[in-house]
Structure 1
Amino acid sequence: MSMRSGTRLRVPFLLFLAFLLVACAATPQSQQLLSRPSDQLPEGVELVDVPFFPQELYQCGPAALATILQYNQVAVQPDELVSHVYIPSRQGSLQVEMLAATRTFERIPYVIPGTLTAIINELDAGNPVLVFQNLGLSVLPQWHYAVVVGFDPEQQELILRSGTVREHRVALPVFERTWQRAEHWAYVALTPGDLPASAEVSDYFMAVADFQRLHPELSGAAWQAGYQQWPDQAVIAMGYSNWLYQQGDLARAASVLEQLLSIQPDYQPAQQNLSAIRNEMQS
């Protein structure tokens, strides 16, 4: 047998080994979640009103994005999103383009923590979750976007809008493997003024700040919601105060800073901004 023919025989065998390794890959999140007593599992949830758009070849990005946008009262079809997110040379959509298109259509994309618990918490809050998966291998990836719309604790499954299947049910460990190979990336689309279930101060600040660059006139509700949730957090108070200042509402901008300084009296950025606003109000 020649070396060349031996190589040909080894390639399928190596691929078979790779598939075995994938099938046996650890799924710590699923194991931790499913090891709980049944009465301690999260309750089942399914967002049945989430729309469904059967995707064409390589069109999972526009289809998944249209799914979460329409659920958030944005009248848009997948075909309208192709020019925003689909890259023909890659036969797919990049994550950064998905986030940017969400902002274009006046919704705030918020990337959630990469945990199954975070996904289920968002579902409980009424937020479908757009997820990125690798349905292939790490060495032979098959990238895919889908939308998680439900959790079935009895069957230990997630329910997705995926591909050509409206109610695609997948076992938690299987989903975790495909999601793990895409670095556990997922996000929700928020109407300004709504908070994600997994809201974290610095991540929320960055999400709203990025949104404000494109839609300053729509950002006020998001800043106000963040400030109501975290009135003692300097980064949120400063962001809200700056937005109020840009809108010409100097009195409320000063009030937010005064409240912050009552909690953190030595916070110099707030001191400086408040002094500048007071000088402007007196001039």
Structure 2
Amino acid sequence: MKGTAIHLLAVLVLVASCATAQQTRDLLDDPGALPRKAGVVDVPFFPQEKYYCGPASTAMTLAWSGLPVTQEEMARQVYTPGREGTLQPDVVAAMRRNGRLAVPVDTLRELLGEIAAGRPVLVFQNLGLDFYPQWHFAVAIGYDLDDGDLIMHTGPYSHRPVALRTFEHTWRRGGYWALVVLKPGEMPVAAEEMEVVRAAAGLERVERYTDAAVAYEAIIERWPRSFPAWMGLGNVRYATKDLTGAEAAWRGAIAADPENTAPAWNNLAYVLQALGRRQEAMEAAQKAVDLGGPDDPNYRSTLDEITNM
């Protein structure tokens, strides 16, 4: 029985390794604008200590971005002793706490595109099988389409070539989870508005207001009609007592999306009240109620609060 189980496992591993890696095949057949070979220079390498692939990979990407971090410091931020490992949300949280945007990368073409643009990509893999996982974080730092390899800082190995086909299988089993780590104001190669907005909002949530403002301003420069970016910019300016700036941002939100302005009018009412312009504040609050509906408790509460001041 034991021998049969071992034989079955070997067959399953063989089947998994032979499964079609469609993204790899598509890339090798048609790389498009991607160069045949690319690599990111000067990505620090921290050999992984036991169970520390998460801290090591997080430290490597943050150190590459210019922050003086160590594997041990990142372990204190992302490692969960009870699990003998690192959870993905903790990696994202660490990026935010350290003032960096964490933007998802979920296709192999996007991943290689970031490398070609000179950025490493933090990846999450399952080096085992779907039913017997071996979770692993690593950093992709280069590729060679002629050889069919991805170059990685992984475990104890620096600049290790891994077959793209093999990587795709392990990455798929990890849920195609990967991050590119950016300084505020930078954009990913395949920039999608809401992905970058969510990354900027992450900085706002951990009160990295200056970094969040820079990120929101860059989003607005790229997408001038980005309602959530204008709203976020108003929020961080208000939080830092830049009331005039907050007013300008929320008016920008109103102009950006005239069909969805109730939240902006509601926020504008608060900043106008803080600026001592009570009549304008009441008018803005009433506008929010009119647009959002008189039964919305948030907008009605704002109007009542300002009216009774």
- Scaled by the length of structure 1, what TM-score is found? 0.89
Alignment partner, residue 216 of structure 1: 209
Alignment partner, residue 239 of structure 1: 232
How far residue 275 of structure 1 moved from its aligned partner, in angstroms, is 4.7
Distance in 2 between the 1:93 and 1:274 partners? 41
Q: Structure 2 vs 1, CA of residues 85 and 236 (structure 1 numbering), >3 Å: closer, same or farther?
A: same
How far residue 180 of structure 1 moved from its aligned partner, in angstroms, is 0.6
Alignment partner, residue 58 of structure 1: 51
Alignment partner, residue 176 of structure 1: 168
Is the counterpart of residue 45 in structure 1 residue 60 in structure 2? no
Distance in 2 between the 1:59 and 1:279 partners? 51
> Match of 2:259, SS?
coil
Distance in 2 between the 1:60 and 1:164 partners? 9
How far residue 248 of structure 1 moved from its aligned partner, in angstroms, is 2.5
Contact 1:125 1:197 (C-alpha < 8 Å) held by counterparts:
yes
How many residue pairs get matched? 274
Q: Structure 2 vs 1, CA of residues 10 and 208 (structure 1 numbering), >3 Å: closer, same or farther?
A: same
Q: Which of 122, 131, 153 matches 1:139?
A: 131
The Cα RMSD (Å) is 1.9
Distance in 1 between the 2:113 and 2:7 partners? 41
Query: Which deviations, in whole Å up to 9, do the C-alpha atoms of 1:29-70 show, x marking residues without a partner?
Result: 11111122x7x4610210121111111222211111111011
Q: Structure 2 vs 1, CA of residues 259 and 76 (structure 1 numbering), >3 Å: closer, same or farther?
A: closer
Q: Tell me whether 27-36 or 177-186 shows the greater mean CA deviation.
A: 27-36
Q: Partner letter of residue 252 of structure 1?
A: G
> Match of 1:219, SS?
helix
Alignment partner, residue 27 of structure 1: 21
Alignment partner, residue 13 of structure 1: 7
Is the counterpart of residue 190 in structure 1 residue 186 in structure 2? no
How far residue 216 of structure 1 moved from its aligned partner, in angstroms, is 2.5
Q: Structure 2 vs 1, CA of residues 88 and 265 (structure 1 numbering), >3 Å: closer, same or farther?
A: closer
How far residue 188 of structure 1 moved from its aligned partner, in angstroms, is 1.8
Distance in 1 between the 2:33 and 2:256 partners? 39
Alignment partner, residue 192 of structure 2: 200
Structure 1 unaligned runs (5+)?
1-6
- Scaled by the length of structure 2, what TM-score is found? 0.82
Contact 1:227 1:240 (C-alpha < 8 Å) held by counterparts:
no
Q: Which of 146, 150, 170 matches 1:154?
A: 146
Contact 1:68 1:130 (C-alpha < 8 Å) held by counterparts:
yes
How far residue 231 of structure 1 moved from its aligned partner, in angstroms, is 1.4
How far residue 71 of structure 1 moved from its aligned partner, in angstroms, is 0.4
Higher relative contact order (CA 8 A, sep 6+): 1
Alignment partner, residue 118 of structure 2: 126
Distance in 2 between the 1:102 and 1:262 partners? 32
Alignment partner, residue 262 of structure 1: 255
Alignment partner, residue 95 of structure 2: 102
Query: Which deviations, in whole Å up to 9, do the C-alpha atoms of 1:120-144 show, x marking residues without a partner?
Result: 1212332210000111111221111
How far residue 206 of structure 1 moved from its aligned partner, in angstroms, is 2.0
Is the counterpart of residue 273 in structure 1 residue 273 in structure 2? no
